[in-house]
Chain A
Amino acid sequence: MRHALHDYFHYSRAERDAAIVLCILLVALVLLPFSWKYLLPPDHGTWTPPESWISMVSAAEREKPSPAPPAPTVFGPYDPNHSSLEELVAAGWPEHMARSLVRYREKGGRFRKTEDLRRLYLMTDAWYQHLAPGCRIASAQPIAAASTLAWPGPRPRKEKAGVAPSFPFDPNILSEDSLVLAGLPPHIARNVVRYRQAGGRFREAAALRKIYGMTDSLFALLEPWIRIEAQDKPAPADSTDSHQPEKAQAAPHEPIAIDINQAGPEEWMRLKGIGKGYAARIIRFREALGGFARVAQVGETRGLPDSVFQAIRPALVASPVLRKLDLNTAGVSALAAHPYISGMQARAIVAWRSQHGPFVQPADIRRTGLFSEKEVARLLPYLECSRQTQ
């Protein structure tokens, strides 16, 4: 050990000369970052970018798309707690903000008043000013000027003051606008219309008290003006209701039964709300899948509004899937062509198959670990396993 240390630390003449040179270089290297600033011209503490940059920034700022929506834009009514993505976009919401709202809802978020819209991550003041008037929440309060958020605490239910009616009205007949003119608050007018659409009927004035949102004081104000006709008058068509855009897509009048896997474009177009475009998309989606396993899958067609799908749903009849994928023979391209299987999953299935042998039954796809339970349940109707000889 002693010899090794001696050998390590002992420097010959040439090595000492080299070490001195290296020492000078290394000390210079250590000193360089500190001496560099003395070699450069002194700065004055601030640094001004060239004029051309400032004007370039100003021009870019002017050209920057303004955070406010481009005019003209029509902003329709919507319910942030219930409206679907398509309905929000139709109401004037930008798609990315509408997606943010839907995600907020899915995570358990709720809007109790219009100002709650400000909580959305992408909401700006400009957009709030445009979108807030169209907000229709069941217990909506008037738009407040304050921008602070009220965090939850015990919130006593407020009595909503109503407007005294100016004429008698029949809640079984009037449209929503007319009910509002008659003195009902908009949210209660909407609830009345919904109650009617669901098959309800007011047989006496006291039945109006049961409408959600109706308070004792408001009912007391309205009761003297309620006139209920004692005959089976059909309720007015609510398709002209401007606050419920989805109602324009009413269910078809004639009873139609469409086989979701056999119907051609003409049959799809017989349904109200389905035109040439939607019919073609539904059929294309069906072809890609190999057939619809459930009626609900028709609603997954890209671009088909949920309101339209709900309207046509009663007319749809399920039937067996047309075409299945053989897990043991399908190649990567055939698997990846299916809408429920991604390219990576297709490659992994083929690799798994080559490593572990053929699948015995479609449920064995769980063993690959590539799909969640929901995805497996969705995929199973499209899979089959042919017997393979090793």
Chain B
Amino acid sequence: MTWHQHPFARWLIPLVVGAALGIALDRPMPWLTWPALGVLAALLWLLHRHPGLALQRFWFGVTFSALLMVVGYERAINHHQIRWADHYARIAPDTCWLVVEVAGEARIKRSLRVVGRVQAAGPAPDRMQPVAGKLLLYLGIDTNAVPRLWWGDRLLVQGVLQPIAGPANPAAFDFRQYMRWQNVHYRLWAAAGDWQKVSDGSGWSLRRRAMQVRAHLLARLARWFDSEETFGVAAALVLGYREALDPDVRAAYADAGAMHILAVSGLHVGLIMGLCYLLLNRIFFFRTWRGRWPRALILLSVLWGFALLTGLSPSVSRAATMFSFFILARLFAREVFVWNILAASAFILLAIDPFLLMQPGFQLSYLALAGILAFQPLLEKLWQPAHPALHHGWRLLALSLAAQAGTAPVSMYYFHQFPLLFAVSGLVAVPGAFVLLCLGLVALGCELVWPGAGWPFGKMLAWCTEGLNTVMAWLQALPAGTVHHIWLQPHALWLAYAALLLLAMGLHQRRFRKILLALALLVVGAADHAAFRYRHYLSPEWVAFQVRRHTLVGVAHKGTLWLWHDGVGAAALSHATDGYRAWKSIDSLVVLPLDAPPFEASWGQWTGQSWILPQGVVSTALLPQGTVPPMQWMQLVRPGQRIPTNEAVPSGSLWLLDEALHPAVRHRWQQVLEHAHQQYHDIAQHGAWVWEPGP
């Protein structure tokens, strides 16, 4: 494997470095980048015209790498839409009218959630100006008449623009960051009477057509299913439609380590291409020299048609670009190097959208394939049974192990869990997905040709999906099937991938030193992680979580999280504390009612209405008016607590306004405390509050 055989792999590195710098720094420097681009391009041309010396050929490579870095940086900066001069956030008032073009799949729950491109904004419909940027819309709906929105439909919306809020609790999922990488920074809620569709999208739009065709196919598919849960899995697998996935089913697949089959990826695209290829090969014309171009065009059309149909997710885009290169390579009789094609697809996608680099779907898709390419051949060589069934079974297991090796660190980083039964689930899920996909395609194909003819295949699809769901649920229910609450620090993630890279290189090149270095890095990473856990184990922390309309306070100490709550449901409690539990390496959880006493006096005092926290000295009661407390103390203000008059606010304290307070009551507290020049932290506005007691 040489750089000359893998030019895109060579070019991808500086592009990624430049894009990563652009994303990290987020600082436009046109005074540097534009002249640099011009100078580097000119230098490149000169070196190309006068390549006499070997040194010049070397400097050509250096110049081109530098140019790729600058291009990556500039693309990342330009792609950040909030910086555009005509972004709606710079122009539109907080309460405004907007014209939004639908640019995504609409999801219906209590309201219609859709991402759109803002085309115009202004304080009134007749006073708008053209703008740009993407917006997350939550549109109120009349349940009796839910409108259908397609790609390209234009909506006239009136509402208040709000920036997407960051995580409310420590180590919680950062939705703002997640949407930032899709260039969505604001959201808007509009009631049912404050928006309407004003025009349909263009009939020539491919994405619109693809969305409509998918909706039609989903409607056909739904007829064969009795249960929403099985339909959701089949829809995700066959057509890439994930909005119907039941959360419990999704969790079952994630815990069993088979979540990847619910995302349309290379497996699905490869199957489609394989079937098309087989069909075309049956026709003599497509096997001839003259038929190579029509064959390539048909394959490319089917490939990108399927990619459009399934929503053009990062994994589908990766697979589609790779297969396109395969088709083109075959057309032009070129030799195929898989790593080069993988790098080429990443290069093209990142050149178009550099923010894909930060999206988990993109990362997982490429890392999975990289892991398979790096480790599966090595694992297969370890054992080569003669029996075909054993041979195929071992290949499948090696595939699962290799893919998991590539994605495990990133999965643990984002999802804080690791499925121990991934190998077992892979043996079932991958062939199962293959069978379901075949049945789904045949059923839909027959249904389109002759309505009603797809029924037997559709019913078989429903039964097989039910069976697969049952197996996944059974795997999920197995004890110790999943390790939860894993927290991987960013530098640990880098260490893990450096170790994996060295290990792959060492094994392929038979360099024992690289393998040793990889193992050393793993040991260092493990030691660092152990130290991280130990630090958190020792240091106690007091947290007032933000849970809508409820009080939830907790103390994390020595691997245990004690929680006191006023009737928080299990789902809300889990949502608020799961990230924190992973971060603090919490092994056990103790949940108590709010008025249960804490186990140690230094953790605070329950006064019957709220908590008093010492900051140094234990204080057991509200201090009488006029008394200066000997030490600082903090109080959690809850519903029912009497609001003191301006003169009666004790000084020298920090007030925590709980989320459970009504907004009007909270506002009154703020006024009183501001008048008394007291410090306060509003949990509803500013999120959870964390305090680490001093010595």
Q: Which residues of A contact B (CB under 8 A)?
A: 6-13, 15-20, 22-23, 26-27, 29-30, 33, 43, 45-49, 52-54, 56-57, 60, 64-65, 103-104, 106-109, 119-121, 151-154, 344, 347, 351, 354-355, 369-374
Contact = CB atoms under 8 A, between A and B. Distances in A.
Given A8-B61, A54-B126, A60 B196 contact: yes
B58 A10 contact: yes
Given A8-B10, A45-B129, A56-B198, A374 B48 contact: no
Interface string B1-36: 011100100110000000000000000000000000
Nearest to A374: B567
Given A9-B62, A53-B125, A60-B193, A119 B639 contact: no
B61 A10 contact: yes
Nearest to A106: B639
Nearest to B198: A53
Interface string B69-93: 0010011001000000000000000
Give the one of A13, A60, A65 with max B CB within 10 A.
A60
Interface of B: 2-4, 7, 10-11, 37, 41, 44-45, 48, 51, 54, 57-62, 64-65, 67-68, 71, 74-75, 78, 99, 120, 125-130, 156, 193, 196, 198-199, 248, 351-352, 477, 479, 549, 565, 567-571, 589, 591, 593, 639-641, 643, 645-647, 660-665, 668, 671-672
A175 B37 CA distance: 92
Contacts of A30: 37, 71, 74-75, 78
Contact of A49 (B75, B126, B352, B671): B126
A333 B78 CA distance: 56
A355 B65 contact: no
Contacts of B99: 49
Nearest to A19: B64
B196 A9 contact: no
A369 B193 contact: no
Contacts of B663: 121
Contacts of B352: 29
B125 A46 contact: no
Contacts of B477: 351, 354-355
Nearest to B474: A354
A76 to B, nearest CB: 25
Nearest to B75: A30
A56 to B, nearest CB: 6
Contact of B646 (A12, A47, A104, A153): A153
6 contacts: A8-B3, A26-B351, A103-B662, A108-B641, A152-B668, A369-B570
A45 B45 CA distance: 40
A372 B351 contact: no
Give the one of A33, A43, A47, A52 with max B CB within 10 A.
A47
Given A8-B3, A43-B130, A107-B639, A344 B193 contact: no
A6 B58 contact: yes
Contacts of B639: 106-108
Nearest to B33: A30
A49 B128 CA distance: 8
B690 to A, nearest CB: 24
Contacts of A103: 549, 662
Given A56-B196, A60-B193, A154 B647 contact: yes
Given A15-B4, A48-B128, A49-B198, 5 more contacts: A12-B4, A23-B44, A33-B78, A53-B156, A372-B569
Contacts of B646: 153-154
A354 B641 CA distance: 45
Contacts of A43: 130
Contacts of B668: 151-152
Contacts of B549: 103
B673 to A, nearest CB: 12
A7 B3 contact: yes
Nearest to B641: A108
Contacts of B196: 56-57, 60
A80 B639 CA distance: 18
B608 to A, nearest CB: 14
B591 A369 contact: yes
Give the one of A18, A19, A103, A344 with max B CB within 10 A.
A19
B678 to A, nearest CB: 15
Contacts of A29: 71, 75, 351-352
A371 B68 CA distance: 57
A19 B120 contact: no
A17 B67 CA distance: 15
A109 B664 contact: yes
A106 to B, nearest CB: 7
B193 to A, nearest CB: 5
Contacts of A154: 645-647
Contacts of B661: 107-108
Contacts of A64: 193
A326 to B, nearest CB: 21
A33 B127 CA distance: 26
A11 B60 contact: yes
Contacts of B67: 23, 26
B248 A347 contact: yes
A33 B671 CA distance: 48
A108 B61 contact: no
A47 B92 CA distance: 13
Contact of B129 (A12, A20, A47, A108): A47
Nearest to B570: A370
A289 to B, nearest CB: 20
Listed from nearest, the 9 A-B pairs whose CB atoms lie closest are A9-B61, A107-B662, A108-B639, A119-B664, A107-B639, A47-B130, A64-B193, A26-B71, A108-B640
Contacts of B643: 152
Contacts of B591: 369
Contacts of A16: 48, 51, 57, 60
Nearest to B478: A355
B58 A20 contact: no
B129 A46 contact: yes
Contact of A151 (B54, B128, B671): B671
Contacts of B68: 26
Give the one of A7, A52, A64, A372 with max B CB within 10 A.
A372
Contacts of A27: 37, 41, 71
Given A6-B58, A107-B662, A152-B645, A20 B48 contact: yes
Contacts of B660: 107
Contacts of A17: 48
Nearest to A116: B664
Contacts of B59: 9
A11 B64 contact: yes
A57 B2 contact: no
Nearest to B10: A8
Nearest to A354: B477
A115 B244 CA distance: 47
B80 to A, nearest CB: 11
